[in-house]
Amino acid sequence: MTYAVFILFTLMALCGGVLVVTQRNLVRAATALVLSLFGVAGLYVLLEAGFLAAVQVLVYIGAIAILIIFAIMLTRRMVQGDESGLNRQWGWALVSAVVMFALFCYVVVKAWPLALGAVSAPAVPADSTEALGLALLDWEQYVLPFEIASVLLLSAMVGAVVIAREKHDS
């Protein structure tokens, strides 16, 4: 049963991913991206990281995917036209991606078979979301990365507004 769900979410993530990089129509590619992100959220649920799955749906699908669709609409002219969505070097890109995947497979299957073959793991504490929140705000643990992340978000927000603003010469 778990395996069936795993395969379903994997297929969602990977098929969505393939559509994202091959679809010529960008709106369809963005829709496929949403499918792929849902698949990844399902994998988080299988890994018992419920909070991350919720954040994935909220932030990735609710914010980033919608932002990307907005950008596609705003830069509309590229979407149409008969030319391919891929550039001239796509053959080499395919070769390098396949070689990279072969290397990853070699590492997983040959190099560390014992460490990666784990089929059992310690149980996740029942209140893992609470533990995550406490860890993020604990002075001894992750409060500094947490605060830096909020500063990063603020500066990215200001930067995005400044860059995208229309300049009126007066």
Partner 1 sequence: MIPLSWYVLVSAALFCIGLFGVLARRNAVAILMAVELMLNAVNVNLVAFWRYGEPQAMAGQVFALIVFTVAAAEAAVGLALFIAIYRSRDTVAVEEIDLMKG
Neighbours of 32 (CB within 10 A): 19
In the complex, minimum distance from the CB of residue 51 to partner 1, in angstroms, rounded to a whole number: 7
How far apart CA 122 and CA 167 sit, in angstroms, is 56
Smaller CB distance to partner 1: residue 74 or 170? 74
Neighbours of 24 (CB within 10 A): 14
In the complex, minimum distance from the CB of residue 10 to partner 1, in angstroms, rounded to a whole number: 5
Smaller CB distance to partner 1: residue 110 or 170? 110
In the complex, minimum distance from the CB of residue 150 to partner 1, in angstroms, rounded to a whole number: 8
In the complex, minimum distance from the CB of residue 170 to partner 1, in angstroms, rounded to a whole number: 18
Smaller CB distance to partner 1: residue 81 or 170? 81
In the complex, minimum distance from the CB of residue 104 to partner 1, in angstroms, rounded to a whole number: 4
Smaller CB distance to partner 1: residue 51 or 170? 51
How far apart CA 15 and CA 36 sit, in angstroms, is 7
- Answer for the pair 4, 15: CB distance below 8 angstroms, yes or no: no
Smaller CB distance to partner 1: residue 83 or 170? 83
Would you call 136 helix, strand, or coil by DSSP?
helix
How far apart CA 62 and CA 69 sit, in angstroms, is 11
Give per-residue burial for 143-156: e unless 16+ CB within 10 Å, then b: eeeeeeeeeeeeee
The tokens describing 52, both together, are 């991350």
